[in-house]
């Protein structure tokens, strides 16, 4: 089991490549379609995902893995080619979102715990047969006047560990995603408060992973960057975000972890790229860094497409640009002048 997990993790962390998070639920992608005036139908969802997965050169050069929603894992392109086969042809590893979303947590006002453990072993076995080789589970921690509570952090860390153990038993690499939210109505915390909460959360998560017997060599960590809340009046510089994020990770994440793939978490496309590049440019890091972005990879492509078949190539060009920018960032070679071709 260890060798299989390590091989998959190494493929996901291939140098200069990252993960495309295309695991939006039907409801979430519906909200994004609403913004561009596209009806949320199964065929439109398929067409949009085919737009991305069919960008063959981009997928081959810059994308190591794709996180899928249950529906998407089972879908095929218009010509009948399963999406998993399209990914395999480009060397991208298919993955699957397996959590059932963040649900209100009893006795913890305003906090959530992620559901989806019931029957997960059976679902993982099916997903493996369908071609998935890694999975994702997102745990959400919010910062507010009386948040997060210890109970929220502990419950979500335990769920992440139980999920990770079940994945490894099924020969599926778990992406462990504890996200400290940067947005929301109370998101006026500064970078130091984010550092404090991220540190406590990551230390708790790794303690739970150890207790659950999870092999760290067979996971990928998907953390938030240490950054001020969206409504914070003073935002830290790119250099400070990189410095505090790396300090936090070095303090919390064992070197045995084969890679860290950051979430974008509501950052703008360019901010997410700039922060990643500033971190990846540092020498002697214990683990490789890369991206696991959803909106920060797709937003420009979604707008360029707008549901119009005649604009598929323009949308793929936008996707290619963002993927290339983030590929450069993952190797610490991005600069802002590249955004305009300078």
Neighbour-count burial of 99, counting CB atoms closer than 10 A to its CB (0-12 exposed, 13-18 middle, 19+ buried) = buried
Please state the pTM of the whole predicted model.
0.96
Label residue 314 by pLDDT band (50, 70, 90). very high
pLDDT of residue 24 exceeding 50 = yes
- Mean pLDDT within 265-279: 96
- Mean pLDDT within 121-136: 98
- Mean pLDDT within 69-90: 97
- 8-state DSSP, 287: S
Label residue 1 by pLDDT band (50, 70, 90). low
Residue in 330, 255, 314 with CA at minimum distance from that of residue 51: 314
Label residue 186 by pLDDT band (50, 70, 90). confident
Query: Could you give the angle at the alpha carbon of 151 between the alpha carbons of 149 and 157, nearest 5°?
Result: 110
pLDDT of residue 293 exceeding 70 = yes
The count of residues in the chain is 342
The domain of 89 spans 2-340
Residues identified as active-site:
177, 222
Evaluate the CA torsion angle 8, 10, 13, 18 in order and state its sign.
Answer: negative
Instruction: Report DSSP letters for 319-330, one per residue.
Output: HHHHHHHHHHHH
pLDDT (0 to 100) of residue 342? 44
Q: What is the pLDDT of residues 212-270, one digit of tens each?
A: 999 999 999 999 999 999 888 889 999 999 999 999 999 999 999 999 999 999 899 99
Label residue 187 by pLDDT band (50, 70, 90). confident
- Mean pLDDT within 302-322: 97
Domain with 133 in it: what CATH number? 3.20.20.70
User: How many CA within 13 A on the CB side of residue 339?
Assistant: 12
pLDDT of residue 193 exceeding 70 = yes
Label residue 188 by pLDDT band (50, 70, 90). confident
pLDDT (0 to 100) of residue 212? 98
pLDDT (0 to 100) of residue 183? 86
* Percentage, residues of the chain above pLDDT 70: 99
pLDDT (0 to 100) of residue 79? 97
pLDDT of residue 305 exceeding 50 = yes
Neighbour-count burial of 125, counting CB atoms closer than 10 A to its CB (0-12 exposed, 13-18 middle, 19+ buried) = middle
CB atoms within 10 A of CB 232: 17
Total domains present in the chain: 1
pLDDT of residue 60 exceeding 80 = yes
């Amino acid at each position: 089991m260890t060798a299989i997990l390590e091989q998959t993790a190494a493929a996901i962390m291939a140098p200069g490549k990252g993960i495309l998070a295309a695991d939006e639920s039907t409801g979430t992608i519906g909200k994004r379609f609403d913004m561009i005036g596209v009806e949320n139908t199964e065929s439109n969802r398929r067409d949009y995902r085919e737009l991305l997965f069919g960008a063959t050169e981009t997928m081959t050069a810059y994308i190591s893995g794709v996180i899928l929603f249950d529906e998407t894992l089972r879908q095929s392109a218009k010509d009948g080619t399963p999406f998993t086969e399209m990914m395999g042809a480009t060397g991208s590893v298919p993955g699957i979102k397996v959590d059932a979303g963040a649900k209100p947590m009893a006795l913890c006002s305003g906090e959530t715990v992620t559901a989806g453990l019931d029957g997960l072993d059976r679902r993982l076995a099916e997903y493996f047969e369908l071609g998935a080789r890694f999975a994702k589970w997102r745990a959400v921690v919010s910062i507010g006047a009386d948040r997060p509570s210890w109970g929220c952090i502990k419950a979500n860390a335990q769920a992440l560990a139980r999920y990770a153990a079940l994945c490894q038993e099924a020969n599926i690499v778990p992406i462990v995603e504890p996200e400290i939210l940067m947005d929301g109505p109370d998101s006026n915390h500064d970078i130091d408060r984010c550092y404090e909460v991220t540190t406590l959360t990551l230390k708790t998560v790794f303690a739970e992973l150890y207790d659950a017997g999870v092999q760290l060599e067979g996971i990928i960590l998907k953390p938030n960057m240490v950054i001020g809340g969206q409504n914070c009046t003073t935002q830290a510089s790119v250099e400070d975000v990189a410095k505090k994020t790396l300090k936090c990770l070095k303090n919390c994440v064992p070197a045995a972890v084969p890679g860290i793939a950051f979430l974008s978490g509501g950052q703008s496309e360019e901010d997410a790229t700039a922060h990643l590049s500033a971190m990846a440019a540092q020498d002697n890091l214990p683990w490789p860094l890369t991206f696991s972005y959803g909106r920060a990879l797709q937003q420009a492509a979604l707008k360029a497409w707008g549901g119009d078949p005649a604009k598929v190539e323009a949308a793929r060009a936008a996707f290619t640009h963002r993927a290339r920018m983030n590929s450069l960032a993952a190797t610490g070679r991005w600069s802002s002048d590249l955004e305009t071709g300078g």
